Chains A and B, each alone.
Chain A
Amino acid sequence: MTRGPTLFNRISVFLGLGFLYAPIVLLVVYSFNASRLVTVWGGFSTKWYAALLKDQQMLDAIWITVRLGLISATAATVLGTLAAVALVRSGRFRGRTLFTGMLQAPLVLPEVILGLSLLLLFVAMGLQRGFWTVAVSHATMTLCYATVVIQARLVSFDRALEEAAQDLGCPPIRAFFLVTLPGIAPAVAAAWMLAFTLSLDDLVIASFTAGPGSTTLPMRIYSQVRLGVNPEINAVSTLLIAIVTLGVGIATLVQRRPKGVPRG
């Protein structure tokens, strides 16, 4: 675009981003409010963060959620990489239409449907609900997102490099690990981070598939939020926002590093 933004353009961007960020900024600011009331500024304080550190239930929930994210994101990234390779490299294989359908539907379908269906599966299998049922459910949901991210990168990855390695006597699997995987590594890392964040964030699917003793952080936040605004929740939210912002920042830097590579 050579033509610069008009005043109207600037105003719409300003208002749009203001709308997106104002609630988040207010939440962060009020997590440092000494007063329990939202509208009263009682001075700067970190007491809600201190209260957070003493809240054993909250700490347990954080630990469960982090473990859940690590495991489900890793599973989702491995499966997502396989799925993306199949979609990009295998051409028209048997069951491709069903495969793409199953990969895309969870991206848009309401979470209540996914949660309910997975719960019925675990009940039908006679499984005790707990940590692992949530992990499997999260891996299923996030694998679709991981596939999209990796697929986008793989499409623009030059296949000739892989073929050259094979011409030089590299078996296809070795060529994948030595040539293709390093080439798509930023996308694989981004996919993992996306999967981790989605798992960290999920309330609905976890509520359906979790059992006693596997209450995740969003589930704990939700049960507290239903009782009203609580500065401690502001504090834990601020920490989550800080972690995610940091993660996205790092991911962006990693993604930008290969210079001169045209964007896919």
Chain B
Amino acid sequence: MKRFSLTAVLPFVWLAAFFLFPFLLVAKLSLSEVALAIPPYQPRLDLSQGLNGLSAFAQGLDLETYARLRTDHLYVAAYLSSLKFAVVSTVILLLVGYPLAYGMARSGAETRRTLMMAVILPFWTSFLIRVYAWIAILKPEGLLNAALSSLGLPTLSLLNTDAAVYIGLVYAYLPFMVLPLYAVLERQDESQLEAAADLGCTPIQAFWRVTFPQSLPGVAAGALLCFIPMVGEFVIPDLLGGSGTLMLGKVIWTEFFANRDWPAASAVAIVMLATLIIPTLLYQRQQARMVDGR
């Protein structure tokens, strides 16, 4: 039975106006050209001229910006490198986050609640500040090198390298990976592990045959929750990465603020969106299934 929901009207209209409609503007602008004007693009829709204005506007649109993106080596490299950063970081996050979530789920009930709080708290703390904290650690005369040299080890210059970006990504997104993993691991039925042990499984076999397959929905949720925003990450590559670190979020920012090439920034955003739409839909389906399964 489909009907109208009165309570939904206000938030619906709000989201349509400030979320959905702006996306259409980005799409439109990606088909426009750069112009020396304010705002810096053309054509502009002139409704005062009626239909003529509309057709002049429609004729002004073309795919030229996209052609420019495809042939420009910089954009292609930034696109591939964003995906690489996001994929590799997601894998590292799984490797770091899974043992942590698993250890949390195996703790006593009271400890579990405290540990859960401890993982959530950094998420509440400013993202920018947490990234900034790494600058003091990683910079050449920073804390890491001070510690290394006091131990008589060779120093590293990590700040402004891709390695620093990986550290930053893994650090900043760790709570997003741990929480969905913890949610599935905590719900696991202990008696299944006992049954596996009774049937001759070693604890390690029991983990791979019982626990791990059951935790896959959490793995998928955590991976998507980290992968999607990481593709467009701006703050981390900008503050921790070097001039050679290419990521799409940074490209959009530079095109927009430094080069004032709004059509190019919009086209990059559309390409990024097109790339992320499938993972986003997968994530939504995953979430719906987890809610239903409760």
Q: Which A residue sits closest to B149, measured CB to CB? A: A39
Query: In the complex, are the beta carbons of A83 and B8 less than 8 A apart?
Result: yes
Q: Which of A8, A104, A124, A240 contacts B126 (CB 8 A)?
A: A240
Query: In the complex, are the beta carbons of A252 and B128 less than 8 A apart?
Result: no
Within 8 A of A (CB), among B229-251: 229, 231-235, 239, 248-249
Within 8 A of A (CB), among B104-120: 104-108, 115, 117-120
Query: In the complex, are the beta carbons of A9 and B107 less than 8 A apart?
Result: yes
How far apart are B99's CB and chain A's nearest CB, in angstroms?
A: 4
Q: State in angstroms the CA–CA spacing of A240 and B276 once bound together.
A: 33
The stretch among A49-57, A111-119, A161-169, A181-189 that forms the contact with chain B is: A111-119
Q: Which of A13, A111, A121, A237 contacts B232 (CB 8 A)?
A: A111
Contacts of B137 in A (CB 8 A): 23, 26
Query: In the complex, are the beta carbons of A6 and B269 less than 8 A apart?
Result: no
Q: Which of A37, A89, A99, A218 contacts B12 (CB 8 A)?
A: A99
A140 touching B7 in the complex, CB below 8 Å, given contacts A6-B106, A204-B234:
no
Interface residues on A, range: 35 or more
Query: In the complex, are the beta carbons of A237 and B132 less than 8 A apart?
Result: yes
The stretch among B21-29, B57-65, B71-79 that forms the contact with chain A is: B21-29
Contacts of A229 in B (CB 8 A): 132, 135-136, 139
Query: In the complex, are the beta carbons of B99 and A8 less than 8 A apart?
Result: yes
B29, B108, B127, B133 pick with most chain A CB within 10 angstroms: B133
Query: In the complex, are the beta carbons of B22 and A118 less than 8 A apart?
Result: yes
Contacts of A89 in B (CB 8 A): 7
How far apart are A108's CB and chain B's nearest CB, in angstroms?
A: 4
How far apart are A184's CB and chain B's nearest CB, in angstroms?
A: 14
Asked if B134 is at the interface of the complex by the 8 Å CB criterion, the answer is yes
Query: In the complex, are the beta carbons of A109 and B228 less than 8 A apart?
Result: yes
Q: Which of B1, B234, B276 contacts A111 (CB 8 A)?
A: B234
Q: State in angstroms the CA–CA spacing of A263 and B130 once bound together.
A: 31
Contacts of A92 in B (CB 8 A): 1-2
Q: Which of B10, B108, B178, B252 contacts A112 (CB 8 A)?
A: B252
Asked if A131 is at the interface of the complex by the 8 Å CB criterion, the answer is no
Query: In the complex, are the beta carbons of B22 and A90 less than 8 A apart?
Result: no
Asked if B18 is at the interface of the complex by the 8 Å CB criterion, the answer is yes
How far apart are A250's CB and chain B's nearest CB, in angstroms?
A: 12
Q: Which A residue sits closest to B224, measured CB to CB? A: A108
How far apart are A216's CB and chain B's nearest CB, in angstroms?
A: 11
Query: In the complex, are the beta carbons of A95 and B8 less than 8 A apart?
Result: yes
Query: In the complex, are the beta carbons of A38 and B18 less than 8 A apart?
Result: no
Contacts of A103 in B (CB 8 A): 11, 15
Contact residues of A: prevailing secondary structure: helix
Query: In the complex, are the beta carbons of A233 and B132 less than 8 A apart?
Result: yes
Contact residues of B: prevailing secondary structure: helix
Query: In the complex, are the beta carbons of A93 and B2 less than 8 A apart?
Result: yes
Q: Which of B15, B106, B175, B231 contacts A5 (CB 8 A)?
A: B106
A117 touching B22 in the complex, CB below 8 Å, given contacts A24-B125, A94-B2:
yes
Contacts of B21 in A (CB 8 A): 121
Contacts of A9 in B (CB 8 A): 99, 102-103, 106-107
Asked if A12 is at the interface of the complex by the 8 Å CB criterion, the answer is yes
Interfacial residues, chain B to chain A (CB-CB below 8 A) = 1-5, 7-8, 10-12, 14-16, 18-23, 25-26, 29, 39, 96-97, 99-100, 102-108, 115, 117-122, 124-130, 132-137, 139, 141-143, 145-146, 171, 174-175, 178, 190, 193, 224-225, 228-229, 231-235, 239, 248-249, 252-253, 256-257, 262, 265-266, 269, 272-273, 276, 280, 283-284, 287
**16 additional contacts (CB under 8 A) given A12-B99, A23-B134, A39-B143:** A9-B103, A13-B103, A20-B119, A24-B130, A26-B136, A82-B7, A94-B2, A102-B19, A105-B280, A108-B283, A112-B248, A121-B25, A200-B126, A226-B239, A237-B126, A245-B124
Supply 24 A–B pairs (Cβ within 8 Å), ascending by A: A4-B106, A11-B103, A13-B103, A20-B119, A20-B171, A21-B118, A23-B130, A23-B171, A26-B133, A37-B141, A90-B3, A93-B8, A94-B3, A94-B5, A112-B234, A117-B26, A140-B18, A204-B235, A225-B132, A225-B135, A229-B139, A233-B132, A244-B125, A245-B121
6 tightest A-B CB contacts, nearest first: A110-B232, A16-B100, A117-B22, A12-B99, A86-B8, A93-B5
